[in-house]
A and B are shown apart, each in its own frame.
Chain A
Amino acid sequence: MTVGLKLTPLSIVGYSNMKIKIKREEFTEYEVDLENVTLLEVLNEIKTTQDPTLSFSSGCRSSVCGSCSVRVNEREVLACSYHPKDGDVIEPLRNSPILRDLVVDMDKAYDFNAKAKAWQSSLSKDVALTPEDEKMNEIQSDCILCSACYSACPVYAVNEEFLGPFSLTRVWRYVSDKREIDSKDKIDVIQTNGVWDCTLCNECTVVCPQDISSKADIEKLRARSSMAGYMDPSFANFGGGFGSFDGSPSF
């Protein structure tokens, strides 16, 4: 055995080229000759062979770390699972400050998890969970914090302090867990800038790569809130007198 390598050259020649536009300081067009690849592979190709200044985030390459969310043709996708096509327009996520090119600052978005107290309030002991108990939040705990839902949610245009889809899903993940003994505290926290601020538009569900519906989780939290004696403030403003009826489907 001797050491020898046949490396395929990194620079690309050929014609069946694909052009995509990437939003940087201004929209910039790049051309690559790749087929059957993910958008992340295309971005890597551009960075390593054409333009090392292009900035984006990635990690796992396998749709589980939530690093690489971007918008393609105005829809949130994971770059590592999206297969791009000629003419695509790539932009950074919305609702978070752009650091550079496709990279946004997630600190504020992630801080909502702490504001919403999305954790188990104390250590549990000897609580036995059945498969049915575990199913209560199996899907919600699949969340990869990619923030696609946060970017797609229209409420931020009017309320920057809205706790938002993934944080509320996370609250449901803990509230629905038998090991949580103080779910009342969590329900209290999500009354302001929380469950009632959502318009139930379902945008978050549509873009979630993990098939989570924050909208559905928010509806469940509304039902729980009603059970805890809270009501939809918009009804309260009408002086409603409907008791705990909140207009959402009951469970």
Chain B
Amino acid sequence: MQCDVLIVGAGGSGLVAAINAHESGAKVIVLTKEYPTRSQTCMAQGGINAALGNAGEDSVESHIANTLKSAHGLADESSVEFLCSNAPKALEWLDSIGVPFSRTDDAKIAQRKLGGASSSRACYAQDYTGLKILHTLYDRCLALGIEILSERYLLECITNTTDSNLDVSGVSVLNKRSGEVEIYSAKSVILATGGYSRVYNTHSTNSVSTTGDGIATAYRAGASVSDMEFVQFHPTAMKNSAILISESARGAGGYLLNSKGERFTNELAPRDEVARAIDDEILKGEDVFLDIRHLGEEFIDEELPQERKLARLYENVDPVYELIPIKPVAHYTMGGIEVDKNSQTSIKGLFAVGECSNHKVHGANRLGGNSLLELVVFGKQAGENAASYSKNKSQHISVDSSTCSLVDDAMSNDTLINFYEKQKELGELFYLYVGVKRDKSTLEEVKGKLLDIKKDVAKMGVEDKSKIYNTNLIEFLEFKNILEISELILLGAINRDESRGAHYRVDDMQEDDSRFKAHTVINSGVLKYED
């Protein structure tokens, strides 16, 4: 199969990129390992930021200032400016394609407050913001007749070397239904495959498919990745299930309480601070709760219906009358594939967007509501740029070979060790030692354990020998990606001898601008700090 722009991933960023590449005249194909509407974007609850000033005064300047403050010196100012100043237009566009946002009495898009924001800036659709945006984008793609192929798992990016430049020419995927490896040749490729919080296994709010596949794949193909050690822990996931209770619950006035019923922190500080404050309480032996009872049933049912449903279903408490037990878990990954001002990676023709990319707008700590925004603003940029890149590229480079050593190896490995157990073990280690707080010596120990697991990979494989819909195989390939990503996180975390935003080192608690006000960039195992 051939096309101009091939997009891997059909979450918010992939679909926005697809619409824009299509509207720029390119022939587009979108591939996803799930179905588009099952992408993790559907889980976003709180909202999407834009300084519209519909609920009190606001300005693009404040949006920029709040974003930079939260980023702890690690965001790129011009990228943040681009993001925030394009936000009102992005919201206007979402409104124009039919996203059913909640409205104010004077018929404007409703906005509410999230942590770290100086105003009520997050536009929302009850607490189903991501769901409603994603589904409307999907409907738009159907309206435009964009080709979307579901249940294709990205295996490798195919590259060529021309004039000592690495150039992308397509991808190989595993068709989950047939079990066949398929090759798609494309003039440009956009990766929109989401983040890597599932490295933390069940200690994450994320969808089970958020395994960093695109990042690991791009890295294997020779692309640079950056800031991988920056993983955001969300303060309020439910204690048993790690399912998220949106920050909008605190934005609306919810309290954090310990077992004694005392408040112990400013609930609306940036997430890294709140998560550490909760961690301190938990280390003291306290249980921690979110209290939204005083907001009242009417408000909760109107503004936070999903939160009530989730608390009842997964924690067996009704937040209208009871406290919700919570804990911080891995939620968002700031690091990702390194991209330039045009969303292009260090491989020519390979673009990246959304959570899998690092557009340097979140720095050391993302502000709630800025991620959905990033999908729309940079999705447009990536789509348009990939389309124009493909126009300037005269022809397809022929790509062949329809076997893939990844699949063959996985199927022929011994199965002496159950990889699911190792995956769980690694998730526990990361949660405990590469989490809210870190220490150099234990990071080194975790690295040792990780290398042990990696050494044994040949003894772990796929017991299911079926070609048809082999999820055992897919999960093993995802596990291998997790191993690669884990190593990159550790490399970044061990070398960054300071504390900054979400990367908090108990053995080095200060920000050290002289050495580390710089991005961690890793290419083929070599780490550099770049401005």
Contact = CB atoms under 8 A, between A and B. Distances in A.
B76 interface: no
Contact of B37 (A1, A66, A133): A66
B469 A99 contact: yes
Nearest to A6: B428
A183 interface: no
Contacts of A47: 420, 471-472
Contact of A59 (B40, B131, B140, B471): B40
B464 A53 contact: yes
Interface string B103-125: 11101100000000000000001
B468 A65 contact: no
B185 to A, nearest CB: 23
A180 B441 CA distance: 60
Question: Lowest 9 CB-CB distances: which A-B pairs, in order?
Answer: A48-B420, A120-B98, A128-B107, A100-B469, A119-B139, A119-B143, A3-B445, A53-B464, A52-B472
B439 interface: yes
A55 B429 contact: no
A147 B433 CA distance: 41
A110 interface: yes
Interface string A28-60: 000000000000000000011100110111111
Interface stretch (A136-144, A190-198, A215-223, A228-236): A136-144
A65 B37 CA distance: 7
Interface string B206-241: 011100000000000000000000000000000001
Contacts of B310: 62-63
A67 B42 CA distance: 12
Nearest to B107: A128
Contacts, number: 174
Interface string A81-124: 10000000000000000011101011100100110011111011
A16 interface: no
A123 B97 contact: yes
29 contacts: A5-B432, A7-B425, A10-B424, A48-B424, A52-B462, A53-B463, A53-B472, A55-B471, A56-B471, A59-B208, A62-B243, A62-B310, A64-B128, A65-B37, A65-B39, A66-B38, A66-B42, A67-B35, A100-B466, A100-B469, A107-B150, A118-B139, A119-B142, A119-B143, A120-B97, A138-B100, A141-B100, A141-B132, A142-B128
A103 B471 CA distance: 10
B142 A113 contact: yes
Contacts of A64: 42-43, 128, 131, 306
B341 interface: no
Chain A at the B interface: SS class: loop
A114 B142 contact: yes
Interface residues of A, number: 62
B85 interface: no
A110 B139 contact: no
Contacts of A123: 96-97
Contacts of A100: 466, 468-469
A174 interface: yes
Given A3-B445, A66-B42, A144-B131, 12 more contacts: A53-B463, A57-B38, A59-B207, A62-B241, A63-B310, A103-B469, A119-B139, A123-B97, A128-B108, A141-B125, A142-B131, A179-B96
B528 interface: no
Contacts of A103: 469, 471
A55 B469 contact: yes
A145 B37 contact: yes
Contact of B103 (A7, A120, A129, A180): A129
Interface in B176-201: 177
Contact of A62 (B43, B433, B462, B463): B43
A220 to B, nearest CB: 17
Contacts of B243: 61-62
A120 B141 CA distance: 11
B408 interface: no
B91 interface: no
Interface string B464-476: 1010111110000
A137 B103 CA distance: 13
